[in-house]
Amino acid sequence: MAKEILQVACAIIERDDKVLAVQRSERMNLPLKWEFPGGKIHQGEPPGHCVVREVSEELNLQIAVSRSLSPVCHDYPDFSVTLYPFICSIVSGEITLHEHKALLWLSPPELWSLDWVAADFPLIAAYCRQRNRKPA
């Protein structure tokens, strides 16, 4: 039987030189792992629209997409995922966790201290690399 391939958009939300990480709840697949917020892309939905919709649904935040990073593919034992990451900023709203257990605002080096879903590790590396190249 072929593995399911999920298309997922995720938001690397920046605020005051920190990045938002959210912890998956016990009832979610990959429980208690940390991730960037986001979700499954609907048929025909542009990934950039998906990330805005998912963050609004999951966190009660309205965000603006600044730029995208290269997509990342990852194989889990039971499924595969292609992640479409977007660097975003908050436009409005106060965070309300509808699906996740916890949240943290972390500096880029602090991101490595969490127990992330495996697919997000390449995103953290790519994000930290591009931050180091940014002009001061």
CATH number at residue 97: 3.90.79.10
Span 15-43, pLDDT tens digits: 999 999 999 999 988 899 999 999 999 99
Residue 43: CA count within 13 A, CB half-sphere: 0
Domain extent for 89: 4-133
- Does pLDDT of 11 surpass 90? yes
- Does pLDDT of 125 surpass 70? yes
- Does pLDDT of 67 surpass 80? yes
Confidence of residue 133 (pLDDT cuts 50, 70, 90): low
How far apart (Å, rounded) are the C-alpha atoms in residues 11 and 76?
A: 21
Radius of gyration of the chain (CA): 14
pLDDT computed for residue 135 by the predictor:
47
pLDDT computed for residue 136 by the predictor:
45
pLDDT computed for residue 131 by the predictor:
83
> What is the value of pTM for the model shown?
0.93
pLDDT computed for residue 28 by the predictor:
87
Q: How many domains does the chain have?
A: 1
Confidence of residue 3 (pLDDT cuts 50, 70, 90): confident
